[in-house]
């Protein structure tokens, strides 16, 4: 560990022994937070294994999502207006009890988290209720948990976090609780004790006291205003879900796949008034605490071997070479190194959504074996060298690489049997003249000259997120609206790009392309792909898994990518099994490992291990104690020398954001030895296997801890008010793009020319 942030200096990292309260006393809720999926698993583990574990009390946990007996199992309610929709959430709760059975009246300490969009998490924590005395230290947003989760309710714990990751728990018959082996006795409780439920919900809800986010509060505010502005079809700085950026509430952004949605609702930042309750001020005692960096990964469905799965050798997966492996989003093809092409942005804006898209191979449209479409090749039929049932076509020019198994359409030959759709069975280069050998049902005399068209170009299905998502905003401003430099946006007389994943999505006051549902892209060279909208990380990942040749994105965490990862979908014994899902590099840089193809240096990389035998670009999986299939969920087991996320460490992978926690220092839960700051410190130290409160324990390495990072993003100068490094001395203007799209620069303070050039 390189250093500890000064914000944590007052936090004592020591073993915590909870003290039992008087009989029937209400438990202490140390953390009731809402926000990003990127921190869902790691913070539950830190709460249970570090803050609760080691005490004299029994330690339990409970997770749930979806619909319960009365209502959505877990949700957030914004009390500022009855028109604000409830926000569905994925819940974890950790609690200690005096008795092993947690009778319902002897809970001691409670921690709970509701996973929602980052912007919803920011809004929920920053919102202030009417009638609150200034400064107001109470959130207007309540956590509400279905009473069916309370013992002896019908809605039981779902083990949404691998039980093997916990050191405490119970054995139940709940789904996801193993019958034997690791995790057998560390599962979720069947139900919540009544006093725990009362402490985090009750029948009316309980105000949250913290937030977790993967974008800055200022950027969450901007995202909300951008959504609520009228549609701007030039720069896409207004997305049409409302009539004004200052609107209290916009129209709900709908999912293409489920009845769920996300609604842009206004909120205030510290020092400003709440827009719903203008007599109430958001307190300046709110602090924003840096947690660590998390990369965006571009995830793909590779089930179609003539599509995005091209080049993956299922018989010998360790020798596979995926053709579709790199996303090009920065192509400096113009003069003076100024980019004139943004291929990844073009894909996501719906103008080039097929296999020969410029996103691959820097826009050159090189054709993979079995891949995209080319036409206009002149060819002559000659006698087949393969005997009966074959024929050769001789050609003297082509615009791409042809491959065995490639379907092709031949027209214009004088012998009818030589016309039709055939499959290339062999490639026979001969000097300056090349031959394609194809299979014919009947040998036909080879005469004539005709045109050739490869026929199996394929549609790509783009799955986008909603504008309230921190994932969406990070992707938008680090990869799709990028301009000026591979390291971030800068002002060198380059106009703000019109690329946006919201481009060509026409929404006026919430109507139009809402939901965005399989809207065809503009056809370029072959079958047009389409774009659809997912709400939430879980739905995004689920739909990429469900739709062949789909591309989407998510913040990496082992929990987020688990449905697409090695263990869930692939046989790792080396037998002929397709490697169904994967991720892309970005401009040739891998977001997770040092080398995309694997060199054996990272023991937990599927393509870099002698035992895992995954195809290159396979998403990794892990188990807490390790198994015959997966390594343990620890940095030493996954990365060489425990150097997690090497290209976040060296600053070369650009699509990432800094994870953050928010709490009010005027609230004792913020800085207490069991509150948010302690939770953050323990989660960070666990990843580095360096927690003196839990010696020898290594946490799930879902992100790069703040103490380990050497590169930051520049951001608005107002960040100084939230505990972050400021920009260069004397520079009081914002840089182009805000934090989520700002320049990447070394440890501040940095007055280098490279950093100064980031700023307007």
Helix H segments across 229-311?
none
For residue 395, the cross-strand partners are 379, 434
Alpha-helical regions (H) of 438-517: 470-475
* Three-state DSSP state, 631: coil
- Entry field: residues in the chain: 760
Classify residue 79 as exposed, middle or buried by CB count within 10 Å of its CB (0-12, 13-18, 19+): middle
Flag whether pLDDT at 85 surpasses 80.
yes
Longest dimension (CA), the chain: 97
**Does the pLDDT of residue 6 top 70, yes or no?**
no
C-alpha to C-alpha distance for 73 and 191, rounded to whole angstroms: 12
Summarised one tens digit per residue, pLDDT across range 30-81 is 999 999 998 999 999 999 999 998 777 899 999 999 999 999 999 999 999 9
* Predicted pLDDT of residue 488: 45
3-state secondary structure of 388: coil
Single out the residue of 88, 418, 143, 138 nearest to residue 263, CA to CA: 88
Closest CA relative to residue 551, chosen from 348, 336, 350: 348
The pLDDT tens digits of the residues spanning 201-226 come to 999 999 999 999 999 898 899 899 99
Contact 644, 704 (CB under 8 A): yes
Q: What distance, in Å, lies between the first and last C-alpha atoms of the chain?
A: 35
What mean pLDDT comes out for the span 641-646?
A: 94
Going along the chain from its start, the domains and CATH numbers come out as 6-14+25-215+659-702 (no CATH), 292-365+459-583 (no CATH), 375-454 (2.40.30), 711-756 (no CATH)
For residue 479, the tally of other CB atoms under 10 A from its CB is 25
Q: pLDDT exceeding 70 applies to what percent of the chain?
A: 72
Whole-number average pLDDT of the chain: 80
pLDDT for the residue numbered 403: 64
Per-residue pLDDT tens over the stretch 262-282: 999 999 999 999 999 999 999
Closest to 488 measured CA to CA, from 236, 720, 733, 739:
739
* Spatial distance between the Cα atoms of 382 and 576, rounded to a whole number of angstroms: 37
User: In the prediction, which pLDDT does 296 show?
Assistant: 97
Distance separating alpha carbons of residues 722 and 122, to the nearest angstrom: 14
Mean pLDDT in residue range 615-619: 85
Q: How confident is the model at residue 394, as a pLDDT?
A: 73
206, 171, 167: which is closest to 187 by C-alpha?
171
Q: What is the pLDDT of residue 138?
A: 96
pLDDT above 50: residue 579: yes
Residue 17 pLDDT grade (very low, low, confident, very high; cuts 50, 70, 90): very low
Q: How confident is the model at residue 1 (pLDDT cuts 50, 70, 90)?
A: very low
Q: pLDDT band for position 470 (50/70/90)?
A: very high
Helix axes 217-228, 118-126, angle to 10 degrees: 100
CA distance 712 to 706: 10
Quote the CA–CA distance of 357 and 351 in Å, as a whole number.
Answer: 9
- Please give, one letter per residue, the 3-state secondary structure of 142-153: EEEECHHHECCC
- Return the structure tokens found at 55: 């005490």
Torsional sign, CA 212, 216, 221, 223:
negative
Alpha helices in 518-591 (DSSP H): 537-546, 558-561, 566-569
Report the 3 state secondary structure along 549-613.
CEEEEEECCHHHHHHHCHHHHCCCCCCCCCCCEEEEEECCECCCCCCCCCCCCCCCCHHHCCCCC
What is residue 14's predicted lDDT score, i.e. its pLDDT? 31
* Helix H or strand E encompassing 436: strand 433-439
Band of the pLDDT at 427, cuts 50, 70, 90? confident
Give the model confidence (pLDDT) of 647-656 as tens digits: 999 988 989 9
Stretch 348-371: mean pLDDT: 63
| Residue tagged 């004299």 (tokens) | 56
| Amino acid 603: pLDDT | 87
Contact 38, 555 (CB under 8 A): yes
Q: Average pLDDT of 610-631?
A: 72
Quick one: pLDDT band at residue 487, thresholds 50, 70, 90? very low
Query: What is the model's pLDDT at position 734?
Result: 38
As a whole number, mean pLDDT of residues 95-111 equals 92
The structure's pTM equals 0.84
The residue among 593 and 409 whose pLDDT is bigger is 593
Q: For residue 70, which phi and psi values (nearest 5 degrees)?
A: -110, -40
User: How many Å apart are CA 607 and CA 610, to the nearest integer?
Assistant: 8
Tokens 């609760």, located at residue: 52
Q: What angle do CA 656, 702, 659 make, to 5 degrees?
A: 45
Q: Is the pLDDT of residue 642 over 60?
A: yes
Q: For residue 484, what pLDDT is reported?
A: 43
* Sign of the dihedral through C-alpha 224, 227, 228, 229: positive
The lowest-confidence range among 101-115, 384-398, 522-536, 608-622 is: 384-398
- pLDDT category, 295, cuts 50, 70, 90? very high
Statement: residue 11 has pLDDT above 60: no
Position with higher pLDDT, 538 vs 721: 538
Nearest to 375 by CA among 409, 327, 336: 409
23-37, 294-308, 533-547, 576-590: range with lowest mean pLDDT: 576-590
**How do beta strands 461-464 and 420-430 pair?**
unpaired
Q: Give the torsion through C-alpha atoms of 484, 488, 492, 497, to 10 deg.
A: 60
State the pLDDT at residue 393: 72
Q: Which residues contact 399 (CB under 8 A, 6 or more apart)?
A: 365, 367, 374, 376, 377
| Predicted confidence (pLDDT) at residue 366 exceeds the cutoff of 50 | no
Position 371 scores a pLDDT of: 41
Residue 571 CA to residue 2 CA, distance in Å, equals: 39
Residues 597-605 have a mean pLDDT of 78
Task: Kindly indicate the confidence band of residue 758, based on its pLDDT and cuts at 50, 70 and 90.
Answer: very low
Q: How far apart are CA 756 and CA 749, in angstroms?
A: 11
Smallest Cα–Cα separation from 551: which of 456, 436, 479, 461?
Answer: 461
Main-chain phi, psi angles of 659, to 5 degrees = -75, 145
Q: What is the pLDDT of residues 521-565, one digit of tens each?
A: 986 555 779 999 999 999 999 999 999 999 999 999 999 998 998
> For the sheet containing 141-145, what is the strand order?
87-88, 74-78, 141-145, 206-207
What is d(CA 693, CA 681) in angstroms, rounded to the nearest whole number? 11
Using an 8 Å Cβ cutoff, are 526 and 355 in contact? yes
Residue 115 C-beta-side C-alpha neighbours within 13 Å: 25
Q: How far is CA 653 from CA 298, 589, 648, 695, in A?
A: 12, 6, 6, 32
Residue 714 DSSP label = -
State how far the Cα of 418 lies from the Cα of 437, in Å rounded to an integer: 12
pLDDT per position as a tens digit, 441-450: 555 555 555 5
Q: What are phi and psi of 598, to 5 degrees?
A: 80, 135
Distance (Å, rounded) from C-alpha 427 to C-alpha 160? 50
In the numeric block, the tokens 């979806």 are attached to 66
Share of the chain above pLDDT 90, in %: 51
């Amino acid at each position: 560990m390189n250093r500890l942030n000064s914000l944590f200096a007052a936090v004592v990292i020591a073993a915590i022994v909870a003290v039992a309260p008087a009989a029937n006393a209400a438990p202490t809720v140390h953390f009731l937070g809402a926000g990003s999926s990127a921190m869902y698993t790691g913070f539950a583990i830190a709460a249970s294994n570090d803050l609760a574990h080691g005490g004299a009390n029994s330690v339990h946990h409970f997770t749930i999502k979806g619909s319960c007996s009365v209502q959505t199992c877990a949700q957030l309610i914004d009390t500022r207006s009855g028109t604000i929709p409830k926000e569905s959430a994925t819940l974890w709760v950790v609690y200690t009890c005096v008795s092993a059975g947690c009778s319902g009246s002897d809970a001691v300490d409670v921690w709970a988290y509701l996973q929602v969009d980052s912007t919803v998490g920011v809004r929920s924590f920053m919102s202030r209720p009417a009638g609150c005395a200034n400064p107001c230290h109470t959130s207007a947003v309540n956590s509400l948990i279905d009473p069916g989760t309370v013992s002896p309710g019908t809605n039981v714990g779902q083990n949404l976090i691998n039980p093997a990751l916990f050191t405490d728990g119970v054995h139940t018959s709940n789904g996801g609780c193993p019958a034997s082996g690791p995790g057998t006795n560390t599962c979720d409780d069947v139900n919540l004790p009544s006093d725990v439920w009362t402490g985090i919900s009750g029948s009316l809800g309980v105000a949250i006291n913290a937030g977790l986010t993967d974008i800055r509060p200022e950027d969450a505010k901007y995202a909300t205003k951008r959504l609520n502005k009228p549609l701007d079809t030039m720069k896409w700085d207004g997305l049409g879900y409302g009539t004004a950026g200052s609107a209290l509430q916009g129209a709900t952004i709908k999912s293409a796949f489920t009845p769920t949605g996300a609604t842009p609702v206004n909120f205030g930042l510290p020092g400003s008034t709440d827009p719903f309750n203008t007599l109430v001020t958001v307190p300046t005692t709110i602090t924003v605490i840096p947690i660590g960096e998390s990369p965006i990964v571009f995830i793909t469905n590779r089930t179609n071997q003539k599509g995005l799965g091209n080049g993956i050798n299922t018989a010998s997966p360790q020798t596979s070479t995926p053709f579709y492996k790199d996303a090009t989003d920065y192509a400096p093809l113009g003069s003076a190194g100024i980019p004139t092409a943004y291929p990844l942005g073009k894909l996501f804006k719906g103008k080039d959504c097929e296999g020969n898209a410029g996103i691959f191979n820097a826009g050159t449209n090189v054709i993979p074996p079995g891949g995209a479409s080319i036409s206009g090749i002149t060819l002559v039929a000659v006698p087949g060298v393969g005997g009966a049932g074959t024929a050769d076509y001789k050609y003297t020019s082509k615009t791409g690489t042809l491959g065995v198994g490639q379907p092709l359409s031949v027209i214009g030959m004088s012998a009818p049997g030589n016309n039709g759709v055939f499959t290339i069975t062999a490639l026979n280069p001969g000097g300056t003249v090349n031959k394609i050998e194809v299979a014919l049902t009947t040998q036909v005399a080879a005469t004539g000259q005709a045109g050739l068209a490869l026929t199996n170009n394929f549609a790509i299905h783009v799955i986008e997120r909603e504008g309230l998502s921190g994932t969406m905003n990070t992707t938008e401003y680090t990869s799709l609206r990028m301009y000026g430099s591979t390291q971030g946006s800068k002002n060198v007389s380059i106009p703000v790009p019109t690329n946006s994943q919201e481009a060509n999505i026409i929404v006026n006051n919430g109507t139009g392309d809402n939901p965005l549902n399989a809207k065809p892209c503009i056809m370029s060279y072959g079958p047009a792909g389409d774009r659809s909208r997912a709400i939430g990380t879980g739905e995004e990942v689920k739909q990429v898994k469900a739709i062949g040749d789909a591309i989407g994105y998510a913040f990496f965490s082992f929990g987020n990518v688990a449905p697409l990862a090695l263990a869930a979908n692939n046989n790792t014994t080396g037998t002929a099994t397709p490697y169904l899902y994967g991720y892309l590099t970005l401009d040739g840089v891998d977001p997770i490992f040092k080398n995309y193809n694997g060199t054996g240096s990272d023991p937990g990389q599927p393509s870099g291990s002698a035992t895992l035998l995954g195809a290159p670009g396979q998403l990794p999986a892990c188990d807490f104690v390790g198994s015959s299939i997966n390594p343990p969920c620890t940095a030493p087991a996954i990365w060489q020398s425990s150097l997690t996320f090497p290209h976040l460490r060296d600053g070369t992978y650009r699509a990432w954001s800094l994870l953050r926690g928010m709490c009010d220092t005027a609230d004792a839960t913020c800085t207490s030895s069991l509150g948010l700051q302690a939770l953050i410190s323990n989660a960070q130290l666990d990843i580095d296997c360096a927690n003196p409160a839990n010696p020898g324990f290594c946490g799930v390495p879902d992100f790069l801890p703040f103490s380990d990072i050497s590169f930051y993003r520049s951001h608005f100068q107002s960040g100084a008010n939230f505990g972050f490094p400021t920009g260069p001395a004397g520079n009081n203007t914002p840089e182009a793009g805000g934090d989520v799209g700002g320049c990447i620069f070394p440890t501040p303070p940095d007055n280098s020319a490279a950093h100064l050039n980031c700023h307007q």
